[in-house]
Amino acid sequence: MNDILKYSRIALGVIFIWYGVLKFFPQLSPAEVLATKTIDIMFFHLIPGNISIKLLALWEVTVGIGLLLGLYLRFALILFFIHMVCTFTPLVLLPEVSFTQVHMPLL
């Protein structure tokens, strides 16, 4: 069981680093627009979009490194769970961006 948890932690760490690094480069991340709009709403337009996406990138890379290396794991997991909660906020705050196409199964 410990091996499964270890490999899951490492896999999540790689994924977080990958998507975090993408956000450091403008218009490379597929989630950049959605993330920027969500952060803009959550923080009442106080943080400029180009700064908010860099902060999110730094957050994700920090979580990824923490998970990948197992350093400060408790802190990395706290950041991870906060990130996961915030990841679902666009579904409530920006449903028009989150749900752009309706697919009717079996029709």
Does 107 score more than 60 pLDDT?
Answer: no
Q: How much is the mean pLDDT over the chain? A: 91
Q: What value, to the nearest 5°, has the Cα angle with vertex 13 and ends 28 and 42?
A: 60
How far apart (Å, rounded) are the C-alpha atoms in residues 57 and 51? 10
Q: What is the CA radius of gyration of the chain?
A: 16
pLDDT for the residue 10? 95
What is this structure's pTM?
A: 0.88
Q: What are the residue ranges spanned by the domains of the chain?
A: 2-90
The 8-class DSSP code of residue 67 comes to: H
Cα distances (angstroms) measured from residue 86 to each of 3, 28, 42, 53, 79: 29, 21, 9, 14, 11
Q: For 25-72, how does the pLDDT look when each residue is reduced to its tens digit (9 = 90+)?
A: 999 988 899 999 999 999 999 999 999 999 999 999 999 999 999 989
